[in-house]
Amino acid sequence: MALKATIFKAELQIADMDRNYYQDHSLTLARHPSETDERMMLRIFAFVRHAHELLQMCKGVSEADEPDLWLKDLTGDIKLWIDLGQPDEKRVRKSCGRAKQVVIYNYGSNAANIWWRQQGDKLATLNNLSVYNIAVTQSKALAGLAQRTMRLQCTVQDGITWLADESSAVQIEPETLLQATE
């Protein structure tokens, strides 16, 4: 019998001073059995960084044709495609062809560094792609906030993101590896 997803609920109070975006969001996340707390919390982090009323969590890890998050406009066009980890070059090129903007949050220390050394020059030709690296210490600290029911205060200012619950706070400062030119 296949293992089922574990359901997590997150109440987010977002204050994004970089974009003048101030909203509360209620998320229900299905954590795939193969997904770690670290990766799930990075999905929440990505949601906070790009928060919008139409931004959606996707099947991601369990569906090859969907990102981890996407933002579609009312016509169904994909405005933003967000992937986590180290997607292969073919997937990245395909997503850049389907979406106006593509963002990858690379994490995982050694694997992340190796992936970027192998893919960086090839991906630099994609004008609508941005790639950020999340330090392993930051992503591991973020995983420490994971609970089945979460209430998080989220602040974004000067490119730095803070996520805090009632007992602890985590600061995430993504390193820009590649910035979209479009």
CATH code (residue 89) = 3.10.640.10
Question: 124 lies in which domain range?
Answer: 6-178
Q: Is residue 107 part of a domain?
A: yes
Give residue 61's pLDDT band: very low, low, confident or very high (50, 70, 90).
low
Please tell me the predicted confidence (pLDDT) of residue 2: 61
The proportion of the chain whose per-residue pLDDT surpasses 70, expressed as a percent, equals 96
Please tell me the predicted confidence (pLDDT) of residue 90: 95
Considering its fold, how many domains does the chain have in total?
1
Q: Is residue 137 part of a domain?
A: yes
Contacting residues for 22 by C-beta, under 8 A, at least 6 apart: 14, 15, 16
CA-CA distance, 89 to 169, in Å (whole number)? 34
Chain-wide mean pLDDT for the chain? Answer: 93
pTM: 0.94
Q: Is residue 53 part of a domain?
A: yes
DSSP, residue by residue, 55-111: EEE--GGG-TTS-SEEEE-TTS-EEEEEEES---HHHHHHHHHHEEEEEEEEESTHH
Q: Is residue 124 part of a domain?
A: yes
Q: Is residue 1 part of a domain?
A: no
Q: Is residue 52 part of a domain?
A: yes
